[in-house]
Homo-oligomer: A and B are copies of this chain.
Amino acid sequence: IVVLTGGVGGAKLVLGLTQIVAPEKICAIVNTGDDFRHLGLHISPDLDTLLYTLAGKANPVAGWGREGESWNFMAAVRSLGGPDWFSLGDGDLALHVLRSARLAAGEGLAAITAAFARSWNVNVTMLPMSEDPVPTLLDTEEGLLAFQDYFVARRCAPAVRRVIFDGADRALPGPGVIEAIEDRQTEAILIAPSNPYLSIDPILSVPGIGTALRRATAPVVAISPIVGGAAVKGPTAKLMQELGFPVSPAVVAAHYSELIDGLLVDQRDDASGLTLAHAQTDTLMSTLADRARVAEAALMLAQRLVP
């Protein structure tokens, strides 16, 4: 099972999948458009969130970072007049420092991610969408903003006119990405209920990934990030409106139209107008059982669509 995913919502889905499919059979292709350098460190928010979630170390309340985290680094940074708009937990820093050191030594992001996963007994394969920088930029009413400036520093407040995947035209898919999608053994390809514009589109912006999805023999099923006409968390709904769309699963279906074979829609939303194959369930993933149920519903829809 291949999953295209961003951070929080997608990580819940992948965790749900591990409840019904052996982790070794799951391959997550992860957004790295949010990656950035901060204080000289290479930070990969979505890879980290997925890793923490699958390793059982995630902070379930914040939706990012580690459970039981301490903040003495940040306190010292603040006392030294350093930038404190992006919170780096003491334990969390280990990933960033080790990743940065290994990147500087010439290792690739995919190999580093795999080594981290092994250390924490995470058996899901985690593939960065690309090892090349493809920073997401937001063209907003306040001008061009880097992703974290928009997402963290400005808390998604500025209205977005356009999302830019800077450098995507020169980026190569990460090691294993195309192979995983096109593998004839792959039974289903899921698009997680992550933000289509900020978490999934960056993955699709990497040349070759869209073509691979179209060539894949496995059915492609997206899980709608809309729940009862709103987004569960994050700026999905706000962005949809700013980009001129109603907040509905039909917009999600249209957004992924050429790439997906089916859409899993929340039971609260109206799916009557969808011409695409679809199924409905409660897609709110509060508990682990919820996550497994959503993952199972997506896989069942995919099974229906096997040619």
Contact = CB atoms under 8 A, between A and B. Distances in A.
B80 A119 contact: yes
Interface size on A, as a range, is 20 to 34
A61 interface: no
Contact of A80 (B72, B90, B116): B116
B76 A91 contact: yes
Interface string A12-55: 00000000000000000000000000011100000000000000
A97 interface: yes
A73 B98 CA distance: 11
Contacts of A104: 40
B80 A98 contact: yes
A82 interface: yes
A93 B81 contact: no
A75 interface: yes
A77 interface: yes
A94 interface: yes
Nearest to A38: B101
Nearest to A88: B97
Contact of A76 (B81, B94, B115): B94
Interface of A: 39-41, 66, 69-70, 72-73, 75-77, 79-82, 89-95, 97-98, 100-101, 104, 115-116, 119-120
27 contacts: A40-B40, A40-B104, A41-B97, A66-B76, A70-B70, A70-B90, A73-B90, A73-B91, A73-B94, A73-B97, A76-B90, A76-B92, A76-B93, A76-B94, A76-B95, A77-B97, A79-B94, A79-B119, A79-B120, A80-B95, A80-B98, A82-B94, A82-B98, A90-B90, A90-B93, A93-B93, A97-B97
Closest 8 CB pairs of A and B: A76-B94, A90-B90, A72-B90, A40-B101, A76-B91, A72-B91, A77-B94, A39-B101
